[in-house]
Structure 1
Amino acid sequence: MKSCRIHITGASGAGVSSLGRALADALSIPHHDTDDYFWQPTSPPYQNMREPADRLRLMHEMFLPRTDWVVSGSLTGWGDAIIPAFDLVVFLTTPREIRLRRLQAREATRYGAEAVAPGGWRHKETGEFLEWASQYDDGDFASRSLAKHQAWLAALPCPVLPLDGSRPLSELVAEVSRAMAPAR
């Protein structure tokens, strides 16, 4: 049996992690998220980045040698060493308005609605994060942007499956599963 190593990527809020978890569950294989490797554990989260060599070392220790896995999140600019392991890359694109609504809801769930509301302890950081995320479609090549993602995808040696992240999760899982069927 061939391996099933899938990387799912796209803009923040596109549904990358949700699809990664759902797909891993459907295929009964492990799911990993790049945020767990990119960021050091802190409270609140996402405060301190790990060094790229440490990220890659942890990924090699946790899942890369295994036959089957799904990894979701962005690796652009730091994870090129693991590109040869991919059997398929799924690229989710989702309209900006939907992504920003999802991110606002995620921030409220993660930190509490009062924390992200005006006057809350997390309001400023949430606003800055949403502003950063809103620039993805039109951002320059130096930042995490659609243009940067497209250039990265064009250079990949494996198939790339572009999907609309605004579609129902069950449809996306079914489409990726069909794309991987010959490998399973």
Structure 2
Amino acid sequence: MRETFVSRPAWVLSGSMLGWGESVVAECDAIVFVTLDPAERLRRLEEREIVRRAGRPHDDEAWRAFKTWAKGYDDPTFDGRNRVYERRSPLRHSG
């Protein structure tokens, strides 16, 4: 993270930093938590997957497992990274 981002004069990182980005939080000028309607978020994930696979079918086991995991993000009882966990994270209060 430090090599990729911090040495640049300006940068934007999209996505969660929990579990892998904590080491650069002190280097950030701002951290913005953006939410999106769950159905729209999943639609965008699917759209990105279509582009990533250059139009090839993506309804395989790995995609189904990822999609199930991604749906869990909006469930506060989900045993994994979820919206409630990120909103309570110390990253939100470190600046």
Matches within 5 A, 1:1-184: 59-117=1-59, 123-140=60-77, 142-152=79-89, 155-158=92-95
Asked whether the 8 Å contact 1:84–1:157 carries over to 2, the reply is yes
The offset of 1:66, in angstroms, is 3.5
Q: What do the CA deviations read for 1:119-160 (whole angstroms, capped 9, x no partner)?
A: xxxx221111111111101144751100111011674233xx
Q: CA deviation at 1:88?
A: 0.8
Give percent identity, aligned residues only: 34
TM-score for the superposition, normalised by structure 1: 0.45
Structure 1 or 2: larger strand share?
Answer: 1
Aligned letter for 1:75? M
Which residue identity is paired with 1:124?
E
Measured on the aligned residues, the alpha-carbon RMSD in Å equals: 2.2
The offset of 1:69, in angstroms, is 1.7
Q: Quick one: distance in 2 between partners of 1:109 and 1:66?
A: 28
Runs of 4+ deviating beyond 6 Å: none
Q: Which runs of 5+ in 1 are unaligned?
A: 1-58, 118-122, 159-184
Q: Distance in 2 between matches of 1:129 and 1:137?
A: 14
Cα distance, 1:104 vs structure 2: 1.3
**Structure with the greater alpha carbon radius of gyration:** 1
